Amino acid sequence: MTTSATTTARIARLGLGVLTGVLIAVGGTSAGQAAAAGGPFVNAIYSSSATVCVDVPGGTTDVNRNLVPAACASTAEQQFTFTPVHDASNQQPNTYVVVNQASGLCLVKFRYAIRQVNCFGSNPYPPSYTWVLNAVDASAHRYQFVPGYVGTDLGRCMAVGTSSTMLPTPFCDITDPTQAWTLVGMS
């Protein structure tokens, strides 16, 4: 069997789709499914408006490194563990600490960009380390990423911008496709 035929057979057998040369599992784990299960899950964070994934450049462990939009690839740099925040005082459903698989660092909003930092503490995590996944279309696993810590940046969301060196955080707008992120399982 040729490589192309093998790939086609694998896609058919596993129910996978092809996106920019990367095999992506249809769907992934929704925040609701994970919350119901009570445990962490691993997914890539994909923007259909720009056909890119959230990426830690080169899997660097540099603290305070901005995350970037990049062509989707089946790498640890684009895989994130979502750990539900277990806190009786937490009034926000779908709240998670998000950790990159390659760097082992937490995603946080810093000023007007998304960065990675050391993950201090344990569950319950400080609000500055948490993200609320606001459903845009939960059945399609599409969410806005809203920082759990609002402070002076109330109402900002992670988005795809025009820069290849950062992910901006404009004011949240549920109708803005650059702020809709799909959680996908990658293989």
**Sign of the four-CA dihedral 95, 22, 54, 124:** positive
Q: Is 37 a residue whose pLDDT tops 60?
A: no
Q: Which SS3 state, helix, strand or coil, does residue 83 take?
A: strand
Mean pLDDT over 54-82 rounds to 94
Helix ranges, 15-82 (H):
31-37
In DSSP terms, which residues pair with 46 in a beta bridge?
53, 182
| Predicted pLDDT of residue 8 | 29
DSSP code for 144: E
CA dist 112 and 128 (Å) reads 14
Nearest by Cα to 85 from 148, 168, 6: 148
CA distance 164 to 82: 24
Alpha helices in the chain (DSSP H): 3-14, 31-37
Q: pTM for this structure?
A: 0.77
Rounded-to-integer distance, Cα 99 and Cα 102, Å = 9
User: How high is the pLDDT of residue 6?
Assistant: 32
